[in-house]
Amino acid sequence: MSSRVARVCGSLVVLAGVAVGAAFSAAQPRAVDRGAFEGEWVLASSVPRARERVEAAFELALRDANPLMRAVARTRIDADALVARRIRVEVDGEHIATTLHTTGDHRFRTRLGHPAPVTTETGSEAQLTQLFREGRLELVFELSEGRRWTVLSLSPDERLTVTTTIDPHRLDDNVRYVLEYRRPRRE
């Protein structure tokens, strides 16, 4: 009986060790293959379809706003809801340059993890921090009217998923939308 108890206890210790090891490795930050993000990415859908997605996200966030706020926000949406047709990522040591092609090319070059003053693609002044975290590239824009957090993540099918969350100070709800990008087709 005591050898049976010892085997059961030994098995429990091994299982507990495996569980602790799995929990420890899950808690470790994922290594980021910075090179996998580098290069050119193009919008996987049409610009009008992507714009519809962005506008729908703004409309959802405005659903409970009063009519005056909705009217003011509508003009801002038209001006600020730009869709990047292309994205280019360049990593050079401790610096990163992300270019968003909307109505023109807007290149943001910063030191990784350090805020830097920039003018956004919509003409707003902001502090931008670009960093790699948990296998993703994050661009955090701190603006006077709120925060825009854009997260670029790679999918197994070699697509770039870009999730943008806007936390405007004047709205109760965040604006959140997702756009897909792919590598340009080779001719």
Answering whether pTM is above 0.95, one says no
- Assess whether pLDDT exceeds 50 at residue 14: no
Q: Which residues on adjacent β-strands are paired with residue 66?
A: none
Q: Which candidate, 80, 87, 75, 4, places its Cα nearest to that of 41?
A: 87
- Phi, psi at residue 164, to the nearest 5°? -115, 130
Number of C-beta neighbours around residue 91 at 10 A: 18
Give the C-alpha separation, 56 to 50, whole Å: 10
User: pLDDT for 115-172, tens place per residue?
Assistant: 999 998 888 899 999 999 999 999 999 988 889 999 999 998 889 999 999 887 777 7
Q: What is the pLDDT of residue 10?
A: 45
Query: What is the rounded average pLDDT of the residues 63-81?
Result: 74
CATH number of 34-182: 2.40.128.20
Which sign does the torsion angle of CA 39, 44, 47, 50 carry? negative
Q: Mind spelling out the 3-state secondary structure of the chain?
A: CHHHHHHHHHHHHHHHHHHHHHHHHHHCCCCCCHHHHCEEEEECCCHHHHHHHHHHHHHHHCCCCCHHHHHHHHHHHHHHCCCCCEEEEEEECCEEEEEEECCCEEEEEEECCCCEEEECCCCCEEEEEEEEECCEEEEEEEECCEEEEEEEEECCCCEEEEEEEEEECCCCCCEEEEEEEECCCCC
Residue ranges of domains in the chain:
1-30, 34-182
Q: What is the pLDDT of residue 154?
A: 95
Q: Please compute, for residue 101, the number of CA atoms within 13 A of its CA located in the half-sphere on the CB side.
A: 11
Q: What is the pLDDT of residue 187?
A: 63
- Assess whether pLDDT exceeds 60 at residue 12: no
